[in-house]
Structure 1
Amino acid sequence: MTDTPLADTPVTDRALTDTPPPLSFTIVIPTFQRREMVCDAVRAIADISYGGPFDLVVVVDGSTDGTVAALRQISASLPVPMQVIEQANGGLGHARNQGAAEATGEIVLFLDDDMICRPDILTRHAQSHAAGAEAVLGNIPLDPASPPGFLTEGIAVWAADSATDSQGDAPLTPFHMAGGHLSVRRAVFARLGGFDTSYTHGGNYGQEDADFGVRLLQHHDVRFNPDAVSHHRYIVSARENLERAYLSARADVKFARRHPGWTRALYALNHGGTKMTRLVYRPLARIPLLPKLLASAAALLAGTALKTPLRSNRHIARLYYGARQVFYWSGVRASGGLADETPLLVLCYHAIADHGDDAVLADYSIGPARFQTHLAALKKRGFSFVSADDVLAHYQRAAPLPPRPVLLTFDDCYTDLLDAARDILAPAGIPALAFCVTAMASGTNEWDQAIGTKKLGLLDIAGLGELERYGVALGCHSRSHRFMPDLDDDALYAETAGAAQDFTQMMGKRPRFFAYPYGGRDARSISAVSQAGYDAAFGLADKTARLTDNLHDIPRVEMLASDTPWRFWLKTSFPRLSTFLRTRYFR
């Protein structure tokens, strides 16, 4: 999000005067074993043109490469006061905190030692702070002097994408926080307690920025200013890049445990839900010694290629990044995993009655006795029945689920469901989730009668209220049970937002859950449900649900009367295999 208060009227920096307010700055640069690089960064600071006071603090974090002597040699010729602090190696977070403790400016600007800033950097930051920002993220495009090759090309793409994303309409997240170019009001930084040093102590690496960002974004105005530019001179070797991947994995696990609400975003950021990760990288990461062997081979291959005309070869880049992903996920596994990744089985039932006399409804109706055998079989096999609230907490906050979790859902809310809830579910203490069609004037299954089925009654308001008392949560199944991908925008709105309005009038509260009629959904349908304010939505797909699934497209496995005991076992154990066998061999 571009230099805009998270909840206020947008502010455009370019419209502000070029004369900055009299804010004072202290620039803090932590450095470790990068003598030449940090000296170049300091020389760039010497070229800063700013109308207010500023000074520089460089924290040398245990370097043994002569950094202190080199900095003192150039300090005499600097037009800006520079303090050099030498300390035993304590990690990046500790070095930044130490620099901030020595700061005298109203604003502390953190720059990494590989950042080559533009002369107007303080002017740009000052403009944003004068407009009300309490913290400002700067732009970090790749420095043209960075060594050529696929590593720097990848960094350039990441930097451009990050800048574009930060300027979008969505709020900034902790993962936008880049401590390598961040200015914060000194009082705010002190009040938040600075960076958590445990993330980067003892050779650890990563996520101290995001951890600080969680605290910063909760109560403070954070903005991105694309005109505040510091070029990133990326000089990390292929081997160091791989080592950072493993260390980042450890930091990610630590961050996810401290801030579980951000786990899904972190998981997606690392491509945790992609087929390549699920089917290739993560299985390879579980093989003893293989991730380290792949990483060593990739480092050797990339290190050699980057010195030749093959430095930008896309095939070598793919091999390298594949090995990097395997190494990363091995680090996640060694640290205990990013989150509870237990697959969730969501079952979809319709009528709990025997309608074998109706050619259409027969397969969508399961009698009470057979339904009880399903429940007994699931319990015997070690499944744990969970509620809709349990599932929502899992998706929203990565709350853990019990072993082999299963959620029971019921579409349409036929009158027979109340009997099943009272006589079967409630006595067994089994929670469930049911979806009602909100605008059937006749109180019957009008959508099915249109194709010649018999009439079945739907629960009225009183029946729905009684259903809730038996432990069955309620959601919407649209207004009129229409196939949503075929609808225009107005009809989609009516079937989603309109259903929510109906439900609110009926039940005195807004619905939190939605189920797509016939399981039919596309990108437009999913977007309409999300915009209508539902917390979660369910479709139909023969697979278990995972934490990385779209919260508004959680898959369910449909239960049918034609499912034999063997097929029921297969469906609830291996849904995908069940579908494959049914479509390939048992049509």
Structure 2
Amino acid sequence: MSTKPAREAASAWPEAASASPAAVGEPDWTSFSVVIPTYQRRDVACEAVRALGRVDYPGAIELIVVVDGSTDGTPDALAAITCPFPCRIVVQQNAGASAARNRGAAEAANDVILFLDDDMMCDPNLLREHARRYSSGADAVIGETPIDPASPAGFLADSVARWTACSAVQSPLSPFDIFTGQLSVRRSVFEQVGGFDPVFTSGSAFGSEDADFGARLLAEHDVHHAALALSFQRYVVGPREYRNRAERAVAAHLQFIRKYPQLARDLFERKGVGRPMVRWIYRPLSRIPFVPKAIAGLAVRAAEVGLGTRLRSNRALARFFSGACSLAYWTELRRSGWFPFSNKVLVLCYHAIRDEDDPLLGRFSVQPKRFEQQLDALADRGFTFITPAQLIAFLESSAPLPRRPVLLTFDDGYAELIDLARGVLRPRAIEGIAFIVTGTDSNEWDQAYGARPVDLMTREQLRELGALGIEVASHSRTHGEMQLMDEAELEAEAAGSIGDLVRDGLPRPRFFAYPYGATNRASRSAVGRAGFLAAFGLKQSRLQHSNDRFDLPRVIVLASDKGGKFRAKTAAPRLFNLFVRARRNLGLMFG
């Protein structure tokens, strides 16, 4: 990462002595803006530009090279190259490959943007092959990226070559087939999709920005695979950078599966989670302090030495280095709270988060300071806060979850929840579910028992709540005891609550929570018919995939759940509940 101030500049490339083919290009040929982001790879980036200058294409071409904070003289070296088409060098402060690609796309003027990595040596027919696909109606095109024979000899390039050879693109395409090393997309489509997400290639993260872009691209657009569109990868990554990328991939993968939880299983299967080596070697070793780091350090040193000798292509050295990098990945995943995966979820049920003097409401009101302490305690104990989307993916397809997953839910929709979301949950990147009583603007159900009136959130506040990451769901229309209702009343409570929220401009709710946690077969059937994906009661246990989808358990958090009691309840909720019930029964027996 460069620490020098940003240098925002656009430099003119020396014009070629001969006329550009674009000047006499046929009007039927697609025009291309080629964007190459580069960082600290002066020599290979220059070779990539020279190779691009040799393409055989009669249509209009422009080249935009975004120098992403390089300090190795890349801009001056590029400026010395003569190119047969208009070219610009854009220099910016280091912001990561995604931001550099977005910057290049913003500068583009032609119909199609072709993104190339700075180590891609173009085949002369590359643009023709992409253009043929656009004449067939493609919105985007991916090609093939075999290893360049001129890559430095050694097991790293050999390994990438073998992986590329055995990773044939399948039909239909998946997001994991989209590779920004060689990807073209209509400029209008790129703008619709929203560009690349910089979070995947900045800070501690590396990678998955192409799969993220691919997920959004494939959702609505026609992407073609051009098998004859070739760019040869000049693989110059060294052992130390390769190892660092393996560790940094974890942060990117966790960002990706938070965004696309339905793809989590596919991602980890591609990483080999089901292989015996992961289960019997990497998993136990990842638990041992210092050992994975020591192995990785030894592997890097051995690789750096070996690549300078006749052992540069030694398969034993390659296997040792590859294994050490895999161990580094799974160890970092464990450190991040995600390995091994869990098949149970702790779902917590909160009501009010405020200081409350009312004796009826006070039992269900957790003080704000204590609530924050509970969040911190859960994080310190290794819990990972998951999203509603991750829960849906788990219920529908057994998607992997972190080692100790927890989901927050809030019943009733009290007005203070919006401030809690702004000031406490959002800064911690915690999402959750708010179950709203849709047919009233205050706690009428509690007032019937003598409680003081308390305001519920307005529809404007509910819309903001959704934007803050708290999904708005239904807690019925009136907070009545649904197990006592007839079919028409159940229909009004379940389907009617959906109508209330949708009519007020809120998203259709996916979840339902039964008032008082009370449910029976008729109420569950009514909720299912209304179209909810899942519903919660208050069985005090962890949620499992095998649970009834319309009677999912939650663990209620009360004002009295302090310190050790909160820890015990969240550590073993079923056992804790059995203990509480046994103590209550003994108290009744012995007075």
The TM-score range, normalised by the shorter chain, is 0.5 to 0.7
Work out whether residues 394 and 401 of structure 1, in 8 Å CA contact, stay in contact via their aligned partners in 2.
no
Q: CA deviation at 1:286?
A: 2.3
Aligned counterpart, 2:225: 224
Task: Measure, in 1, the Cα distance between the counterparts of 2:46 and 2:280.
Answer: 46
Task: Measure, in 2, the Cα distance between the counterparts of 1:118 and 1:233.
Answer: 13
Tell me whether 1:395 sits opposite 2:402 in the alignment: no
Cα distance 1:248–1:399, how it changes in 2: closer, same or farther (>3 A)?
A: closer
Work out whether residues 57 and 102 of structure 1, in 8 Å CA contact, stay in contact via their aligned partners in 2.
yes
User: What are the residue-to-residue correspondences of 1:188-337 with 2, within 5 Å?
Assistant: 188-202=189-203, 204-337=205-338
CA deviation vs aligned residue, 1:95-147 (integer Å, no higher than 9, x gap) = 00000000011000000000000111111000001101101001000100011
Q: CA deviation at 1:394?
A: 5.3
AA aligned opposite 1:336 = G
Tell me whether 1:44 sits opposite 2:46 in the alignment: no
Cα distance 1:117–1:402, how it changes in 2: closer, same or farther (>3 A)?
A: closer
| SS across alignment from 1:23 | coil
CA deviation vs aligned residue, 1:375-399 (integer Å, no higher than 9, x gap) = xxxxxxxxxxxxxx98972535547
AA aligned opposite 1:152 = A
Cα distance 1:401–1:246, how it changes in 2: closer, same or farther (>3 A)?
A: closer
Work out whether residues 253 and 336 of structure 1, in 8 Å CA contact, stay in contact via their aligned partners in 2.
no
Q: CA deviation at 1:259?
A: 0.6
CA deviation vs aligned residue, 1:53-80 (integer Å, no higher than 9, x gap) = 0110000000000000001111xx2111
AA aligned opposite 1:237 = G
1 or 2 for the larger relative contact order (CA 8 Å, sep ≥6)?
1
Work out whether residues 61 and 88 of structure 1, in 8 Å CA contact, stay in contact via their aligned partners in 2.
yes
Aligned counterpart, 1:111: 116
Residue among 21, 26, 37 paired with 1:30: 37
Cα distance 1:402–1:111, how it changes in 2: closer, same or farther (>3 A)?
A: closer
Tell me whether 1:151 sits opposite 2:153 in the alignment: no
Task: Measure, in 1, the Cα distance between the counterparts of 2:205 and 2:394.
Answer: 33
Q: CA RMSD in A?
A: 3.3
AA aligned opposite 1:393 = L
Task: Measure, in 1, the Cα distance between the counterparts of 2:134 and 2:184.
Answer: 9
Task: Measure, in 1, the Cα distance between the counterparts of 2:117 and 2:210.
Answer: 12
Cα distance 1:86–1:145, how it changes in 2: closer, same or farther (>3 A)?
A: same
Cα distance 1:401–1:88, how it changes in 2: closer, same or farther (>3 A)?
A: closer
Aligned counterpart, 1:526: none
Aligned counterpart, 1:447: none
Work out whether residues 20 and 126 of structure 1, in 8 Å CA contact, stay in contact via their aligned partners in 2.
no
Work out whether residues 295 and 327 of structure 1, in 8 Å CA contact, stay in contact via their aligned partners in 2.
yes
Q: CA deviation at 1:334?
A: 2.5
CA deviation vs aligned residue, 1:468-504 (integer Å, no higher than 9, x gap) = 97989xxxxxxxxxxxxxxxxxxxxxxxxxxxxxxxx
Task: Measure, in 2, the Cα distance between the counterparts of 1:158 and 1:301.
Answer: 22
User: What are the residue-to-residue correspondences of 1:551-570 with 2, within 5 Å?
Assistant: none
Cα distance 1:20–1:248, how it changes in 2: closer, same or farther (>3 A)?
A: farther
Work out whether residues 62 and 88 of structure 1, in 8 Å CA contact, stay in contact via their aligned partners in 2.
yes
Q: CA deviation at 1:335?
A: 2.5
Residue among 66, 69, 84 paired with 1:62: 69
CA deviation vs aligned residue, 1:173-211 (integer Å, no higher than 9, x gap) = 111110110000001101111000111123531111111
Aligned counterpart, 1:342: 342
Task: Measure, in 2, the Cα distance between the counterparts of 1:151 and 1:64.
Answer: 26
AA aligned opposite 2:280 = L
Work out whether residues 30 and 96 of structure 1, in 8 Å CA contact, stay in contact via their aligned partners in 2.
yes
Task: Measure, in 2, the Cα distance between the counterparts of 1:66 and 1:101.
Answer: 24
Task: Measure, in 2, the Cα distance between the counterparts of 1:223 and 1:55.
Answer: 23
Aligned counterpart, 2:587: none
Residue ranges of structure 2 left out of the alignment (5+ in a row): 1-25, 346-390, 407-482, 484-519, 526-543, 546-591
Task: Measure, in 1, the Cα distance between the counterparts of 2:130 and 2:27.
Answer: 9
| SS across alignment from 1:64 | coil
Residue among 114, 118, 133 paired with 1:128: 133
CA deviation vs aligned residue, 1:145-187 (integer Å, no higher than 9, x gap) = 011221111111121223x2x1x34x11111110110000001
Task: Measure, in 1, the Cα distance between the counterparts of 2:285 and 2:402.
Answer: 25
Task: Measure, in 2, the Cα distance between the counterparts of 1:174 and 1:46.
Answer: 30
Q: CA deviation at 1:287?
A: 1.9
| SS across alignment from 1:202 | coil
Q: CA deviation at 1:247?
A: 0.4
Cα distance 1:403–1:186, how it changes in 2: closer, same or farther (>3 A)?
A: closer
Q: CA deviation at 1:289?
A: 2.0
Aligned counterpart, 2:417: none
Work out whether residues 33 and 63 of structure 1, in 8 Å CA contact, stay in contact via their aligned partners in 2.
yes
Work out whether residues 261 and 398 of structure 1, in 8 Å CA contact, stay in contact via their aligned partners in 2.
no
Residue among 142, 150, 155 paired with 2:147: 142
Please, what TM-score do these two structures have when normalized by structure 2? Answer: 0.55
Equivalenced residue count is 352
Work out whether residues 178 and 214 of structure 2, in 8 Å CA contact, stay in contact via their aligned partners in 1.
yes
Residue among 74, 80, 89 paired with 1:84: 89
Task: Measure, in 2, the Cα distance between the counterparts of 1:316 and 1:331.
Answer: 23
| SS across alignment from 1:89 | coil
Task: Measure, in 2, the Cα distance between the counterparts of 1:23 and 1:232.
Answer: 25
Work out whether residues 33 and 65 of structure 1, in 8 Å CA contact, stay in contact via their aligned partners in 2.
yes
CA deviation vs aligned residue, 1:417-444 (integer Å, no higher than 9, x gap) = xxxxxxxxxx9xxxxxxxxxxxxxxxxx
CA deviation vs aligned residue, 1:313-369 (integer Å, no higher than 9, x gap) = 22111111111111001221223327x822479xxxxxxxxxxxxxxxxxxxxxxxx
Task: Measure, in 1, the Cα distance between the counterparts of 2:333 and 2:27.
Answer: 46
Task: Measure, in 1, the Cα distance between the counterparts of 2:180 and 2:59.
Answer: 23
Kindly report structure 1 stretches of 4+ aligned residues shifted beyond 4 Å: 389-392, 396-404, 467-472
Aligned counterpart, 1:439: none
Residue ranges of structure 1 left out of the alignment (5+ in a row): 1-18, 346-388, 405-426, 428-466, 473-545, 548-587
Please, what TM-score do these two structures have when normalized by structure 1? Answer: 0.56
Q: CA deviation at 1:22?
A: 2.1
AA aligned opposite 1:227 = L
Aligned counterpart, 2:432: none
Work out whether residues 293 and 328 of structure 2, in 8 Å CA contact, stay in contact via their aligned partners in 1.
yes
AA aligned opposite 1:55 = E
Task: Measure, in 2, the Cα distance between the counterparts of 1:335 and 1:271.
Answer: 18
Work out whether residues 20 and 51 of structure 1, in 8 Å CA contact, stay in contact via their aligned partners in 2.
no
Task: Measure, in 1, the Cα distance between the counterparts of 2:92 and 2:393.
Answer: 48
Task: Measure, in 1, the Cα distance between the counterparts of 2:56 and 2:279.
Answer: 51
Task: Measure, in 2, the Cα distance between the counterparts of 1:149 and 1:156.
Answer: 11
Cα distance 1:178–1:64, how it changes in 2: closer, same or farther (>3 A)?
A: same
Work out whether residues 260 and 399 of structure 1, in 8 Å CA contact, stay in contact via their aligned partners in 2.
no
